Structure 1
Amino acid sequence: MIPIAFTLMYDLMPVEQRGKLGGIFGAVFGLASIFGPVLGGAFTLVSAVVSLMIVLKLGGKLFPWDSLPIIGLFSAFVVLVILFFVAETRAAEPIISLQMFSSRLYSTSNAIAVTAGTAFVTSSVYIPIYIQGVLGGSAVEFLQ
C-alpha cells in the first residue's frame, strides 16, 4: 500500500510540492512507528531482536561462539522472546494477538506475505548490488 500512496502523490502533485510531501509522509510514518506500538511489548521485542542481531554479527568474528558475551546475548534473546510472548498473552490489547495464528487462513496469508516481502527486498536491494558489484554493471546503464 505504501508504494501506491507514493505513486499517487507523485502523479497528482506538481514537481515543486513532491519533496515536501515526501518529507511529510516520512515524518508521519516515523512518528507512527515510534509512538504507535505499546512500549512494553515493543521494547521487549526490539531488545530481543537487537540481541540476536549482535550475536549473529559478532559471533565467530570478534568473539568466539562459546564466549561469555555471545552466550549472554543469546540467553538474553531467548529470555526476552519468552517475556514478549508472556506479555502478549496477558495483555488486554496485545501488539500481536497470538490467537489470530490459530486461523489457517491468517497463518497462510502471513507466510505468503513474508515470502513476497523477501522476494521484493531481494529483487530491489540485492540484485542491483550483485549487478553492479559482480557483473560490473552501472546504476544508470539502463537509463541511457
Structure 2
Amino acid sequence: MINILIVLGAFIIMEGVAWFAHKYIMHGWLWVFHKDHHKKETDGFLEHNDFFFLIFAIPGIISLYVGMQNNFNFWFFIGLGITFYGAAYFFIHDIFIHQRFKILRNSNNTYLKALRRAHKMHHKHLGKEDGECFGMLWVPFKYFVESKKK
C-alpha cells in the first residue's frame, strides 16, 4: 500500500513541478525552446519544445534505475510516479489537446472540455509574458463553469 501512495504522491507532485517549470523556465530563460509551441503553425511534426521531454524523463529514469539497484526501494516507486505523469502528459497534452495524432477528437466530458479550454487560453498568448493556465491536469474552476454552458 505504501508503494502505491509513493507512486500517487510523485504523480501529484509532478503536476506542481510541471506548472513551475512551464511558468518560470519554459516561459522564462528557456523560452527559446518553448516559443515554437506557441506559434500558430510549426514546420514539422516535432517542435523544439519536445526537448523538454528529455529534461522531465531523466529524473524518472534515474529514480527507476537507483530503485532497481536497491531492491526496488522507494526510489523505484518515485520513478514510476514520474513516468506515469510523463505518459499522462503525452496522452493528454500531445494527443488529446494538440491532436498530434488524430484520435480522441471529441468529448462531452466536463473535465476534458475544461482542460481543453484552459489550454486554449494558455495558447492565446503568443509571447512568453502574460500567460495563464500553466499546469496540465489542474484546471481552474472557471473553465468547468464555461464548459458546462456549452
Q: Same fold (TM over 0.5)?
A: no
Instruction: Answer 1 or 2: which has greater helix percent.
Output: 1
Q: Report which structure shows greater RCO (CA 8 Å, sep ≥6).
A: 2
